[in-house]
């Protein structure tokens, strides 16, 4: 595990590489801010990821020609970029994304992730976003990690050994939180109508956004509900 510097990006990334970026609240923003500054030295870089919380400066039109995003999940900024034709969207079931990496349907050159500092045995935890990150880290030729002491250490199949990390930089920063959107009158009305279709004992699959939040807000008098979640 070598320390990453501003001058050593070229030791790990080459023109034409496909780079995976970590997910959700574990998106390595500190590390990606440094990558964006170095992106001008590369050409034809493809970045793939699912949902990431926070800003996505790697989607900036200023990087056109150097970096192009191919997202498996569209957030606000990636949706804007895809609609403008400066980014791509590849619809895929979340459960199938690890298979794309492991079976090399979408081969990865580099995985840029966030992890906890290593423990006494050298193991770092992927923390709050194991999801497709573990498969990406296991499949990529190179792993670059933002070691973040603020990342919670989670247990289970969430570990990566420091010897599996090619380069790292320690950046201690708070994890970005998902902000619950303010419900407008239209969303509230839709939520109320949908809630009338839900009976006690139903199992719900909830997505992200105003409408799912509005529906949940109207289910306070229901009972025995089951929930399947994704992100």
d(CA 150, CA 120): 18
In which region does residue 127 sit, left (phi positive, over 0), alpha (psi from -120 to 50) or beta (all else)? left
d(CA 81, CA 166): 31
Catalytic hit among 46, 164, 173, 230: 230
Sequence-ordered alpha helix ranges (H) in the chain: 29-38, 76-83, 97-102, 133-139, 185-195, 210-217
230 catalytic? Reply is yes
Contacts of 179 (CB under 8 A, 6+ apart): none
d(CA 185, CA 198): 20
In which region does residue 128 sit, left (phi positive, over 0), alpha (psi from -120 to 50) or beta (all else)? alpha
CB 160 within 8 A of CB 143: yes
Q: What would the 3-class secondary structure string for 189-210 be?
A: HHHHHHHCCCCCCCEEECCCCH
d(CA 10, CA 84): 30
Q: Which residues are catalytic?
A: 230
């Amino acid at each position: 595990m070598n320390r990453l510097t501003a001058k050593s990006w070229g030791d790990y990334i080459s023109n034409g590489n496909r780079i995976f970026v970590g997910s959700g609240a574990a998106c390595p923003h500190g590390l990606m801010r440094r990558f964006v500054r170095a992106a001008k030295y590369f050409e034809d870089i493809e970045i793939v990821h699912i949902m990431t919380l926070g800003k996505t400066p790697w989607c900036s039109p200023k990087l056109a020609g150097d970096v192009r995003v191919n997202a498996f999940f569209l957030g606000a900024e990636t949706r804007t970029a895809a609609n403008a034709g400066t980014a791509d969207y590849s619809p895929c079931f979340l459960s199938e994304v690890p298979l794309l990496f492991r079976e090399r349907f979408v081969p990865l050159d580099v995985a840029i992730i966030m992890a906890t500092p290593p423990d006494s045995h050298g193991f770092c935890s992927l923390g709050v976003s194991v999801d497709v990150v573990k498969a990406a880290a296991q499949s990529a030729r190179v792993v670059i990690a933002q070691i973040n002491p603020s990342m919670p250490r989670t247990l289970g199949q969430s570990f990566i050994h420091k010897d599996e990390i090619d380069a790292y930089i320690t950046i201690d920063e708070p994890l970005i939180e998902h902000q619950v959107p303010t419900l407008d009158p239209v969303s509230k009305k839709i939520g109320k109508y949908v809630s009338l279709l839900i009976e006690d004992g139903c199992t719900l699959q909830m997505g992200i956004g105003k409408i799912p939040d509005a529906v949940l807000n109207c289910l306070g008098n229901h009972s025995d509900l089951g929930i399947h979640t994704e992100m």
